[in-house]
Amino acid sequence: MQLPAPDFGPPPKSGGAMPWILGGIGAVLVLALIAGAAFVILKRNGETTTTMPTPSTTETDPLPTPSESPTQSPTESPTQDPGADLPAPAEGRITDPKTGLSYPAPGEPWSVPKSAEINNPDPNAQQWSAGVRALSQEKYDGQGDWMGSIYSGELHESYPYQGVDNLRAATGTVFIDFARFYPIKHERNILQDKAITVDGHKGWLLEFEMDFTAESEKKNYKWKKERAAIAVIDRGEGKRPALLYLSVPDNLDTGLVTQTLNSLKLS
């Protein structure tokens, strides 16, 4: 999907046009490659890719260590209908009908995409049941669009989760898997890596900033930095956690990340 640039910047295309862990660059690269090879590439910008770029980022902080990599076992859980509409803002907020998670709805240029535009029909891919996105730069590489995204959904069963004690590891696993969506060389700095509580529900937040300045100045990208965050929130026994993903380039106001995180609600 054209995940938030948040998405994480669109991956290189293979005939067409969705974060990162462990102390040590080598370990991070190995894990990212393993996770990427084991998990279905998410749909970004309405298209899918069959190749996975090799991570080329520079780590400045260690990230949480996941206990396991995503699996690709078939799941019997229902997935988001790719033809269904995502919820429109109501009273200034986006409310995820699948998880009960809600957050402020930003104004223009942000808008609610069609489910089919951001969700991969493959049942093994992460599905989004609510969210908004905005264009950061059209055809930034001559082909694909770079997007900002704020998406939420139920944590896919391919991401291991054994309860609240596993929140940090689950967040880290998602972080590793999503790293491939940022193929442009950049430096990354971890801003927050901590436990959170949303309406009495325990969760984990990983917030980070990516600096694309060097590449941006060479290639005339319209953004130089991007703030992103992944939050996994436990919803109680028998329910998969809620997953929130934000990625906002600086030409779309990175303050939206803080506003969203500070205004989360879970019913």
Q: What are the structural domain ranges in the chain? A: 25-266
Superfamily of domain 25-266: Mog1/PsbP, alpha/beta/alpha sandwich (3.40.1000.10)
CA dihedral 23, 70, 242, 163 (to 10 degrees): -80
pLDDT at position 84: 64
Contacts of 220 (CB under 8 A, 6+ apart): none
CA distance 128 to 109: 20
In 112-257, DSSP assigns E strands to 130-137, 146-154, 187-198, 201-211, 225-233, 242-249
Q: Is the pTM of this model over 0.85?
A: no
**What is the mean pLDDT for each group of 10 consecutive residues in the chain (267 residues)?**
38 33 32 35 33 36 50 41 78 97 96 94 93 97 96 97 96 94 94 98 98 97 98 96 98 97 97
Supply φ then ψ for residue 56, to 5 degrees. Answer: -130, 20
CA distance 210 to 95: 28
User: Among 45, 31, 104, 57, which Cα is nearest to 226's?
Assistant: 57
Which SS3 state, helix, strand or coil, does residue 51 take?
A: coil
Residue type, position 160, single letter: P
pLDDT at position 123: 87
pLDDT at position 141: 94
Helices (H), the chain: 25-38, 115-118, 167-178, 213-219, 255-262
CA distances from 34 to 28, 39, 58, 122, 180 (A): 10, 9, 18, 19, 11
pLDDT at position 180: 85
